[in-house]
Structure 1
């Protein structure tokens, strides 16, 4: 009974995120993008080109084209994501028809792409948090990967370029430049929504002076460090590897420590999406239960 209650609660939360995200998505298009003659990437951009050319409302083209693409590429989505994506697609289309009362046409040109990017990025981010997608470009990118060997990020970029650049003949070069600003802001806002305020970084450090480096990091920053056993493929020499997860503001101090103690140290820095455990934010019991419930929900739906 408790598990069923949590599953229902999780679904309600996901649907709420998708609804809010869809409202923000529609607000971006109808309040900021269209009134200022801007475009978008992906299928939203394609629908806007049709709107500017033949005055077909974007809500219709987005819904119809996404349904067509989902029919072709549904196998690339798991059952739950497919369901939420269908819901998101329907709600976005409805909201694009509903959110039409207000328009924001600023005197300062840059405010339009900034507003559009913030609202669209937040909308897409919330839809993704709700386990949905905006379909369209995501599925097309996966089709490109399957049949042409193009990885998904590159595929998404190609789709955006193929839509945004030709739109210069319709909306003008200046508005295309503003659209690119919009897309950049979108990507940053999506990252912010999905990853939160405090993204983490991970360090791998290989150095002959790994003990001195570890001691300096522990003494100066108070961070725990894991020492991994490694072995060079070419030299066959065993190496001690330092592995550290830190906050973004600690990146520069660690780089300075390593450079001061061993300028020849091999070091990589990677982005970490989420960290839980000692020294970082613990999940609340409610969040732990929700994570477990989502996993159970996935298992039950398979």
Structure 2
């Protein structure tokens, strides 16, 4: 009986001490990416945006306004506001995103504190605008890529989506524009308009970082020569093709529908193949945000 109980204790200790090595390594890598992203983001804010007396969207935009108006530390106000918003809207994040966000919020504020004196005001304000937008987009893109968020208006946008049925992207843009508009109280109109351009640059860079260097396109093809097109896509472009069976509602004719996911730089080649072998084919091209797996279908 004693031996049996000892064996149970040993088994319990083994289970308690066991962990997924791959998961732990990936978590450490993600944490490192968040640290790098926070640092790049902080440089974009302090060195270029504040250095050029520009504004910004999101919670950091509010922090910048308070810094211009009262001289309050952006690191501190960014931390406090984000903590309050996260406490209110944490249930709108997945558990994984919430854990990473809890790590991201103080890390971002620490990096803002470290770089708060790294301000550079270039003679040409366009330099501040462009590089501020690029670095902010890179920083947020890295943070989002590993599944974290910067809290702030991201959570507010999700709350608006749930209760007001507003698209998250539009809600996020709406909140950012409100904050940028409030910035007119402490920033000249010219600088606010430059800030809007910087926000656009940041959005494009962020999308590039999240989607990767080689974004995908999904192509749906309705053709009278599906087998011929599928053969050329497979042999000439070296991509897998899925053939689905469909039926036209108006003609009631059975149709084969081709579906293929390709690299963006292969789209022109695919269009030429389709035009060469079936000019009457109906083609729809879709943007693809993410692709998981690597196999021929």
For the aligned pair, the TM-score class normalised by the smaller chain equals 0.7 to 0.9
Instruction: State which of 172, 184, 189 in structure 2 corresponds to 1:168.
Output: 184
8 Å CA contact 1:199–1:274 kept in 2: the answer is no
Q: Structure 1 segments of 4 or more deviating over 6 A?
A: none
Cα distance between partner residues in 1 of 2:126 and 2:268: 32
Cα distance between partner residues in 2 of 1:53 and 1:237: 68
8 Å CA contact 1:39–1:164 kept in 2: the answer is yes
Q: Please name the residue that 1:16 is paired with.
A: 32
Shift of 1:47: 1.8
Further displaced range: 62-71 or 171-180: 171-180
Shift of 1:262: 4.1
TM-score of the superposed pair, with normalisation by structure 1: 0.84
Cα distance between partner residues in 2 of 1:222 and 1:134: 39
CA 1:74 to 1:214, structure 2 compared with 1: closer, same or farther past 3 Å?
same
8 Å CA contact 1:225–1:242 kept in 2: the answer is yes
Cα distance between partner residues in 2 of 1:225 and 1:84: 37
Cα distance between partner residues in 2 of 1:174 and 1:251: 40
Shift of 1:275: 4.8
Shift of 1:193: 2.0
SS at match of 1:270: strand
Instruction: State which of 98, 103, 106 in structure 2 corresponds to 1:90.
Output: 106
TM-score of the superposed pair, with normalisation by structure 2: 0.85
8 Å CA contact 1:41–1:161 kept in 2: the answer is yes
Q: Please name the residue that 1:274 is paired with.
A: 291
Q: 1:273-294: per-residue Cα shift (whole Å, max 9, x none)?
A: 22532479xxxxxxxxxxxxxx
Shift of 1:169: 4.5
| Structure 2: unaligned runs, 5 residues or longer | 1-16
SS at match of 1:39: coil
Instruction: State which of 133, 136, 141 in structure 1 corresponds to 2:157.
Output: 141
8 Å CA contact 1:85–1:133 kept in 2: the answer is yes
How well do the aligned residues superpose, as a CA RMSD in angstroms?
A: 2.3
8 Å CA contact 1:14–1:129 kept in 2: the answer is no
CA 1:69 to 1:240, structure 2 compared with 1: closer, same or farther past 3 Å?
same
User: Number of aligned pairs?
Assistant: 280
SS at match of 1:165: helix
Further displaced range: 83-92 or 228-237: 228-237
Shift of 1:235: 4.2
